Amino acid sequence: MNSPKETSFTHLDESGQARMVDVSDKPVTLRQATAVGFIYLGEKIFPRLVGGQLKKGDALATARLAAIMAAKNTPNLIPLCHGIPLSGIDIEFSPHSDRWGIEIKVTVRGRAQTGVEMEALTGVATAALTIYDMCKAVDKNMTIDNIHLVEKSGGKSGDYHYCPKKVRSDMVQGTMEAC
């Protein structure tokens, strides 16, 4: 049986209606979050993208700007997110020729009363979607995969580091394992 803490949702009021969590009593601290994802492009698209030969232009430059814009506009996309003043956004693209794809990594920083995880995740997702849009004329057979939070720091809950073993264990065995 679930404990009350496990069944209470911070984004629901006593009557079950959606609400934005009040963070006004939380201290302002430096927050940082890093998220990653992967887009599988395939052998037709990958060499064109990394070689700068797409008819639509530089997909990675466009995706970088899209990720920055998305992170800055996350509260306009995710209904219950707080507007957070961001102080930095870093985007990295790592081509993987062995998998015909691009790893996308977004790190977001800001001083706020709540975290910046959603901004980092939204940046990754939007960068991947932008790459897809820029490449779909060549081949629509692409896959966006494995978008997840890698790490976060700051705030009451402290530091977090992604643990794939923990995720698999929870899904397979119904229990959590420490990394």
Task: Please give the full DSSP string across 55-98, using - where no structure is assigned.
Answer: TT--HHHHHHHHHHHHHHTHHHHSTTPPP--EEEEEEEEEEETT
Cβ count near 172 (within 10 Å): 8
Q: Work out the angle at residue 65's Cα, subtended by the Cα atoms of residues 64 and 68, and round it to the nearest 5 degrees.
A: 90
Residues 6+ apart with CB under 8 A from 124: 35, 36, 37, 67, 104, 105, 106, 147
Dist CA 122 CA 120 (whole Å): 6
CA neighbor of 155 nearest in space, from 90, 92, 82, 104? 82
Dist CA 65 CA 73 (whole Å): 12
Q: How far, rounded to the nearest angstrom, does the alpha carbon of residue 168 sit from its chain's CA centroid?
A: 19
Active site residues per annotation: 133
